[in-house]
Amino acid sequence: MFPRLVEVETPALIIREEVALRNIDRFQRHCDDNGLKLRPHVKTHKCVHFAKAQIAAGATGITCQKIGEAEAMADGGIDDILIAYNILGDGKLGRLRALAERMKALTVVADNDVVVDGLSKTFETASRPLSVLVECDTGGHRCGVQSPERAIALSRRISALPGMRFGGLMTYPAIGGQHDVLDFMTLAKAGIEECGIACSEVSSGGSPDMWHARSHGGTITEYRAGTYIFNDRSLVERATCAWEDCAGRVVATVVSVPSEGRAIIDAGSKILTTDLLGLEGFGHVVGHPQARIAGLNEEHGTILCGPDDRFEVGEQVNIVPNHICVVINMLDNAWLERKTGGMSVLTIDARGKLC
């Protein structure tokens, strides 16, 4: 599946461009065929390079989670961004306004009055109103208003206050919760429109359920997915993709085989992270389906071998990580295995942008 690489110091993350581009095209086609705009979440790659590739393939814009990510993407020339987060605090609101002024389109979300009031106060003297979506909790139990009634009330507040434009509704569904999304959004949208307020966008998302994404006769207008570009072990285990659709692998070196049945690699939690996402073991060792990455310290990974596994000191192993998004965030740089052959450095432009 993966060629052996000797020129890269380990541990390192290698992204296969060909696979990533194929993933981009495939899901873009699904959205096109199903009447959905695609607004990829850049949290998975955090690279201007791939954000541009997604837009070139037909994406309507991108999604970020924090202002710092959006700033990094704007610096790279991306001009249509949804920041899917409640923005609070004078420092961040000031940065948000400065960012809006240099963008073609900037949208944020809100799920409560404090956030809405802060946005209004910040943008009431701006040259253009800020587009604000109401975040709805359709069962994901993270942020979001808890009922269509609350969505309607918050939409009215956004419409009534200066500095903002009500842009529609947004949700991050629970896995398998596309039906709940439809029920909630249909009610909320109808109620908002009954108030004489246009509800132009209804944005849903999530990579695990991406192949079930539908517009449902225009109720859902936009889909946000992140992980689909690279995929990972968690999406393989959910049958969302196949191993050959995984564009990223961590290359590690076996540094010790202290006893039979146990090999230590130089990839620990500083690259693989301790995210399990409900799985057993900290990644899939390519070509060794019986091997289990049973434990991680920061700089060590412990592989417990299956009966047919023999690892040797100095040998390289390829690992498909459980969760690719968090691996990317550990790294200032990864390697890009070019479609045309050869390797180049991939700068993770928005790594560690927490604020």
Question: Which element (helix H / strand E) includes 109?
Answer: strand 105-110
Determine the length of the chain: 355
Q: How far is CA 217 from CA 77, 197, 214, 220, 243, in A?
A: 33, 20, 8, 8, 33
Taking the C-alpha atoms of residue 234 and residue 138, their distance in angstroms, rounded to an integer, is 22
Of 239 and 354, CB closest to a second copy: 354
**Residue 318 interacting with a second copy (CB under 8 A):** no
Site string for a second copy, 37-76 (x = CB under 8 A): ------x---------------------xx----------
Residues 6+ apart with CB under 8 A from 231: 23, 240, 241, 245, 246, 247, 248, 324
Q: What tokens appear for 338 in the block?
A: 């070019």
CB of 299 to a second copy, least distance (A): 4
CA 166, CA 73: separation in Å to the nearest integer?
Answer: 24
Site stretch for a second copy (CB under 8 A), options 19-27, 47-55, 106-114, 240-248: 106-114
- Which of 121, 253, 343, 347 binds a second copy (CB under 8 A)? It is 253
Cβ proximity of 24 and 46 under 8 Å = no
236/328 with CB nearer a second copy: 328
Nearest to 167 by CA among 204, 130, 142: 130
Question: Site map for a second copy, 210-249, x if CB under 8 A?
Answer: ----------------------------------------
As measured in angstroms, the least distance from the Cβ of 257 to a second copy is 7
CA 273/CA 322 separation, integer angstroms: 9
Residue 282 is a binding residue for a second copy (CB under 8 A): no
Q: Is 325 in the site for a second copy (CB under 8 A)?
A: yes
Positions touching a second copy (CB under 8 A) are 9-12, 43, 65-66, 85-86, 88-89, 91-92, 111-112, 114-115, 137, 141-146, 253, 255-259, 262, 264, 266, 269-271, 273-276, 297-300, 302, 313-314, 325-326, 329-332, 352, 354-355
